[in-house]
Structure 1
Amino acid sequence: MTTYYDAWQQVTTKNGFTADEIISGLQKSIRRSDQENALAMAYEMYITSEQLEDYMWKRLLVISVEDIGFADTNATLIIRNLEQTRKDFQYGSFDRGLFMIQAVRYLCKCNKDRSSDLMLNILREEFAKGRAPVIEDHMLDMHTRQGRINGKDLNHFLHVASHVEPLAKDTQHQEFFTRLQAILNNQ
């Protein structure tokens, strides 16, 4: 088992809890949509110190990606907005606390998806065992030294290297692609 130093193990909250347990409790409560307990954990962090409040916001941002993820891709933007806006109010003021409450309630109500966290763990383990990126031929285009050496030009870029999947519907992609091709063919 890996051991590491966590400074929050040395901090006692206002009501006598070890800070690392309150921090963990906040995230686990949000994961299970236990709004009441998550709010109590967040409030304990908030009333303990401004430093622990700042760390709470860092955790809420991580939670928005680690535990909410693709279930709500706006979660990080919303949490960041609330985190920044709270700074307009003095620490300890009633109004400042509202932003924390809104953020925690929002995350509790969100559907959850941990796939990004799982993928990061997969990559970390695979790279530790020797995995490395693979450069495929279509990646070597006019923007790379090797692509230019291999004669890759704008035509290759337009037909191969700039290919996107899935292509969004109801855009002017095909219209503009056809127009550009006509211009290039007339040169």
Structure 2
Amino acid sequence: MNQPLAYRMRPTHIDNIVGQQHLVGKGKIIRRMVEAKMLSSMILYGPPGIGKTSIASAIAGTTKFAFRTLNAASDTKKDLQIVVEEAKMSGTVILLLDEVHRLDKPKQDFLLPHLENGRIILIGATTENPYITINPAIRSRTQIFELKPLSNEDIQHALWSAVNDSEKGFGKENVAITDEALLHFSRATNGDLRSSLNSLELAIKSTAPNEQGTINITLDIAEECIQKKALTHDKDGDAHYDVISALQKSIRGSDVNAAMHYLARLIEAGDLPIISRRLMVIAYEDIGLANPSAASRTVTAVQAAEKLGFPEARIPLANVVVDLCLSPKSNSSYVAIDAALQDVRAGKSGDVPDHLRDSHYNGATKLGRGVNYLYPHGYPGAWVNQQYLPDKLKKASYYIPNHTGKYEDTLAKQYESINSKKKRNNSK
């Protein structure tokens, strides 16, 4: 078993893919393509280690087509020619092309006609947004699918499979792994299954059996092999979520010192993606319209942290935590959208008023679409009294402004002024 565990555990059938059920689950698009034997070239994009290569491998294994792997950055046009010649001789070949966003024009021009005639089924893999980084000529000949980060449960399931698989994994070894260690392997790699499997392999191979011949993998061993500390040694992993919750509540409560403490615990655990996501949620949920520029600064700080990585990432993260802690707070827009969603989900929607409906097509006027619409820019103050909500909800009010920051205070005064005008006009 000289090949890495992550390589050995790659699925050879679509049923064995970990996660990505929005693409490979029953009735979903990639499964439908495979079952109908109507494969088309595709681009798979998403973070590292979440299954791009696994999906390509599973498609090939399920369809029994030949499967070849190349890298768009490092392999040459000659390498592509070899794959094409194989396809001419033996039939369709599935080509996994890693880093497809780095495919240069000569390779692309060579590949395109073979994609069009179906001789090569291209599965391009990239961590970059293909709508931005991939040439339109390739995009137009492929379907684009976004892969989602794997859940902790997905990764734990894959790890257990590796421990118990006698053919590809460590099923022939006497391995005992604690729940805490398994949880840490699944969580500390931030959804990267490849990294989790390789860390598990290191732990098993570098741990000597005890007198009974058992290889015991504990949390301490998991931390050492993955080089990240667990937040606490709690069996169920609740402390992880407790610390995230405490960070948000400390910022919401304007306690800088407590927020710094919880940020430090998350940094020590190496949870950059979780920190980044949570800070952006806080900026919009808890600071909101009281200080919109704080949200912009948060996004900028998160982008800087992600580019820098740890340990330097701690600096922009600390800056923005102080900023958010001491900022005025408002959750008015968050409360407003939740109230509106509650009505929509309860079936309180109603028809869009005729004067607001789309009128940019022949026959719209005969249907009354857009008729009697009043164009606000043609009136003083760019405001005119007319009904916008459906009849069923015309008296609904969702937004209740706060006055905790200068920006929302200005918005609140405008909102109250418009409401006063509405009341005066409706009373006439």
Does the alignment reach a TM-score above 0.5? Answer: yes
Q: Distance in 1 between matches of 2:152 and 2:287?
A: 26
Q: Give 1:47's aligned residue.
A: 268
Q: Give 1:88's aligned residue.
A: 307
1:77 partner amino acid: S
Where structure 2 has 5 or more consecutive residues not aligned to the other structure, the ranges are 1-150, 154-182, 188-228, 234-238, 384-428
Q: Cα 1:120–1:46, aligned 2, differ >3 Å: closer, same or farther?
A: same
Q: Cα 1:102–1:142, aligned 2, differ >3 Å: closer, same or farther?
A: same
CA contact (8 A) 1:39 1:101 kept: yes
Identity of aligned pairs, percent? 23
Q: Please tell me whether Structure 1 or Structure 2 has the larger radius of gyration of its CA atoms.
A: 2
Q: Cα 1:140–1:118, aligned 2, differ >3 Å: closer, same or farther?
A: same
Q: Distance in 2 between matches of 1:121 and 1:47?
A: 34
Q: Give 1:180's aligned residue.
A: none
1:113 matched to 2:330: yes
CA contact (8 A) 1:141 1:161 kept: no
Q: Cα 1:149–1:75, aligned 2, differ >3 Å: closer, same or farther?
A: farther
By percentage of residues, which structure has more strand? 2
Q: Distance in 1 between matches of 2:352 and 2:275?
A: 40
Where structure 1 has 5 or more consecutive residues not aligned to the other structure, the ranges are 1-5, 169-187
Runs of 4+ in 1 over 2 A off after TM superposition: 10-15, 140-153, 161-168
TM-score by length of 2: 0.32
Alignment of 1:3-152 (within 5 A): 14-16=230-232, 18-49=239-270, 52-89=271-308, 91-93=309-311, 95-140=312-357, 142-143=359-360, 147-150=364-367
Q: Distance in 1 between matches of 2:335 and 2:348?
A: 17
* SS of the residue 1:33 aligns to: coil
* SS of the residue 1:135 aligns to: coil
TM-score by length of 1: 0.68
Q: Deviations over 1:10-35 (max 9, x none)?
A: 56864417110000001100100011
Stretch of structure 1 that moved more, 121-130 or 138-147: 138-147
Q: Deviations over 1:74-104 (max 9, x none)?
A: 2221111111112332x322x3211100111
CA contact (8 A) 1:14 1:44 kept: no
Q: Cα distance, 1:161 vs. partner?
A: 3.8
Q: Cα 1:165–1:15, aligned 2, differ >3 Å: closer, same or farther?
A: farther
Q: Distance in 1 between matches of 2:381 and 2:152?
A: 45
Q: Distance in 2 between matches of 1:87 and 1:109?
A: 24
Q: Distance in 2 between matches of 1:167 and 1:64?
A: 31
2:297 partner amino acid: I
CA contact (8 A) 2:291 2:327 kept: yes
Q: Distance in 2 between matches of 1:78 and 1:134?
A: 39
Q: Cα distance, 1:62 vs. partner?
A: 0.9
Q: Cα distance, 1:140 vs. partner?
A: 2.5
By percentage of residues, which structure has more helix? 1
- RMSD between aligned alpha carbons? 3.2
Stretch of structure 1 that moved more, 129-138 or 37-46: 129-138
Matched residue count: 155
Q: Distance in 1 between matches of 2:263 and 2:307?
A: 19
Q: Cα distance, 1:112 vs. partner?
A: 0.6
Q: Distance in 1 between matches of 2:245 and 2:252?
A: 11
Q: Distance in 2 between matches of 1:7 and 1:166?
A: 53
Q: Cα 1:77–1:131, aligned 2, differ >3 Å: closer, same or farther?
A: same
